[in-house]
Amino acid sequence: AQSVTQLDSQVPVFEEAPVELRCNYSSSVSVYLFWYVQYPNQGLQLLLKYLSGSTLVKGINGFEAEFNKSQTSFHLRKPSVHISDTAEYFCAVSGSGSEKLVFGKGTKLTVNP
């Protein structure tokens, strides 16, 4: 079984500052990793995914994440955030061969002017 831990429930930052949202996972099998963003009262939008290959993954809206197998982490980063990045961010894992996604509890990113 897989599990996901998002260490920070809330992350406040100022506009144009860099941000890192942390995600750690546990799994006994190979995994696929995902970051989703959810704006208020909306569904989830995929930001980026790691399936295999390069451990640095670039996604939409200037976000990127790095898969670190030894530390079982998949932290999300953006060098300069905008007000519009204010949203809930979910890290998710899927075990190889499984069709299910397991989500972390989410991190609320608030970008202040």
Partner 1 sequence: GAVVSQHPSRVICKSGTSVKIECRSLDFQATTMFWYRQFPKQSLMLMATSNEGSKATYEQGVEKDKFLINHASLTLSTLTVTSAHPEDSSFYICSARVGTGNYNEQFFGPGTRLTVL
Interacting residues with partner 1 (CB under 8 A): 32, 36, 41-46, 49, 51, 90, 94, 96-106, 108
Min dist CB 100 to partner 1, Å, is 6
Measured from the CB atom, is 41 or 113 closer to partner 1? 41
Min dist CB 16 to partner 1, Å, is 27
Measured from the CB atom, is 80 or 96 closer to partner 1? 96
Min dist CB 15 to partner 1, Å, is 24
The whole-angstrom distance between residue 53's C-alpha and the CA centroid of its chain comes to 18
Q: Give the CA distances from residue 76 to residues 26, 33, 73, in Å, rounded to whole numbers and listed in that order.
A: 17, 11, 10
Burial class (CB in 10 A: 0-12, 13-18, 19+), 91: buried
